Structure 1
């Protein structure tokens, strides 16, 4: 498109504006100096504003004529002139500024590269794959997403929530893959949030999802751009919030919280094995303490004789019922976990490790708890940590006490009733119309989404 008419240039500008119509981070501006003027189009989240101001805007007003400015643009070794509209928008999505100077169109590379401000992920670690995480700047987060998802179909809408805080948020989605009924419902829920201050991404779920009193999250909060981009490609919606380094992904179902990015990188059999390990960990952290109470207090005849005698021998010196023993050790473990979060990072791991070792050894030697109870508590703590998303692990930590209560009063029958009740409760939950226990909340790309 090195040569052409003014009409072609105007047509390209209008076409670009139509393609970027629903992108909240687009910028279309016109520079005028006397009778001379030019237009430029770019994405604010992908470009360096200081570079645009210094190299393009300031130079335009310093030049005596548009011919001199055009000669100045031709002097850049990296400047390009697109051969088609598609080439122009592809370059724009990669961080270029599209300049319209009379009948000519130029592509000026102004890509904003985020380096020092982007840190490694701290709560969702992977063995292989990208290690960067979101920041507290919503524009940088949009940059991290667009660099991985360079499609004109990726749209963004900006709005503010919180009566006092007026926190800026962005709704990001692929318009050809998203379920527009879910998108409409999300806009309504965000508009109806009645809160003075919103400062964390998880507060969006707290104030917008119903019922408010529930144990398990129905939106996923993630700090990983790669997980966010994967969910966008599956037709889900992402909500970015300024001042927080996390994104909200929706709709989210039960299976999503047990999926790690390693599952996408590993070979399929390895990924299936890793996910199976997490579900086994879920059963262990939920049922092991309750089963210990049921077998020692109500139903020891189900166990083999050797195991029953082993448990009875280890509890010979314990002066109180098994449920009190379980609660004592589990609460002590909860104290250690909470202390490890609240203590300064320099002393937190050391203090909690030493405290756990001393507590376990002293309690066993004093005859307050059995050796088997120490093993169970350690297994429960470790199995809870295999859940990749922390919001789900918190819900599981609370749920296991419900199972302990049922086992205390009803034994194995109570555990069975608890499992049935848990399944019924999970089945009743919905995440923007998606059944919580379905295996995949992925909307396939069809003609109806366009």
Structure 2
């Protein structure tokens, strides 16, 4: 029996050696000796202390303690058919006492103060997100990803803040080159204060990534579990409810978890819709200025006359009109974020309606300009990951500037330059425009 027991203990220590939340606790009092194994992030530590540890010091001998343990509800002897590692990662503890191995389920579900997802919402998927407590987040992730190869490493970031971060990956699936590059960049961070996932993302991104994000920041445990299975490295940070996923490519920023929960045909349609929205948000203002100011012959006669008629009372060129309305829309968007939640949506909606109607009636902008700005704003919000949405909000002004000076030719040149820039980017050694990264990263 002792050889079997030693083999079980060796298996636990070997397969879970990378998990920082694995607890191996030895108790020794007089002639009594006992050893416990459990994963602290998913077990009820108070119950362990009250029902398992405290009685060890209260009873007189090992026989009494063993009888006490066997009398507990749910306590049983570990069988040959049982997988000890699987038991541990599902919330059980294993007790090594003399020649016996006992097991008891003592899992804890953390349901307090877990917020719902507010940024990456889905229709049919899970609605709970991460919290700002690191141990709670590990608990949520452990309950969603049951693999003994899940490794959790502790590090600290910020010379003064010294906030704890967890580096999480599946040792069987992870790309070791990506993991090594991230750890090297983490050691190279020379900042006194690091307090958020977004700040950490900026510090570990390459110098070229000044506009487009190369690390997905997510609040969804299901997205994290899915990316773990694809060999990605996850970073959880103390004091923030957002996790980093790396490496991340352009495709990752355009995908939603609803793509997995909907029928395949619907998912493909929604993905196509997002790319269409991205094209509208990025190109529509520049194309409008380029055609209106330089190439009106591209319009059909009726449409050209209609646009010319709507702009008859506008006293300045098309690019001034577009720039004015885009900036006002940016101000409304920022106001909706900064205003108190109770009045934010009402104030910005009413303000937008009044502003658009008043500007049209005053002859400051044309009717078609209101349609274009509204289409751009709506299309920008179709992008699932906020960081990419912010990047597109800024990039469209570069294309607008090129259209202002050189027309549609400038838009095409700027678009080619943008593609060249994206091709030059990489996320921890992975090509930024590698569409099939998630399937082929390990090859």
TM-score, with normalisation over the residues of structure 1? 0.96
CA RMSD of aligned residues (A): 1.3
Distance in 1 between residues matched to 2:87 and 2:277, nearest whole Å:
47
Answering whether residue 347 of structure 2 is matched by residue 351 of structure 1, we say yes
Q: Give the match for residue 435 of structure 2.
A: 439
Distance 1:86 1:442, change over 3 A: farther
Give 1:51 shift.
1.5
Answering whether residue 131 of structure 2 is matched by residue 122 of structure 1, we say no
For residues 272-421 of structure 1, what are the structure 2 equivalents within 5 Å? 272-421=268-417
How many pairs does the alignment contain?
443
For 1:291-315, what per-residue CA distance to the aligned partner results, in whole angstroms no more than 9, with x for missing partners? 1111111110111111111100000
- Asked if the contact 1:251/1:441 (under 8 Å) is kept, the reply is no
Task: Name which of structure 1's ranges 253-262 and 288-297 shifts more when overlaid on structure 2.
Answer: 288-297
Answering whether residue 158 of structure 2 is matched by residue 169 of structure 1, we say no
- Asked if the contact 2:249/2:431 (under 8 Å) is kept, the reply is yes
Structure 1, unaligned runs of 5 or more? none
SS for the counterpart of 2:315 is: coil
SS for the counterpart of 2:437 is: coil
Distance in 2 between residues matched to 1:85 and 1:200, nearest whole Å:
45
Q: Give the match for residue 100 of structure 2.
A: 104
SS for the counterpart of 1:92 is: helix
- Asked if the contact 2:130/2:242 (under 8 Å) is kept, the reply is yes
TM-score, with normalisation over the residues of structure 2? 0.98
Answering whether residue 419 of structure 2 is matched by residue 423 of structure 1, we say yes
Answering whether residue 153 of structure 2 is matched by residue 157 of structure 1, we say yes
SS for the counterpart of 2:10 is: helix
SS for the counterpart of 2:77 is: coil
Structure 2, unaligned runs of 5 or more? none
SS for the counterpart of 1:411 is: helix
SS for the counterpart of 2:50 is: helix
Q: Give the match for residue 56 of structure 1.
A: 52
Distance in 1 between residues matched to 2:405 and 2:412, nearest whole Å:
13
Q: Give the match for residue 6 of structure 2.
A: 10
Q: Give the match for residue 178 of structure 2.
A: 182
Distance in 2 between residues matched to 1:83 and 1:166, nearest whole Å:
44
Give 1:267 shift.
1.1
SS for the counterpart of 1:307 is: helix
- Asked if the contact 1:158/1:169 (under 8 Å) is kept, the reply is yes
For 1:131-161, what per-residue CA distance to the aligned partner results, in whole angstroms no more than 9, with x for missing partners? 1101111111111111111111111111101
Q: Give the match for residue 227 of structure 1.
A: 223
SS for the counterpart of 1:442 is: helix
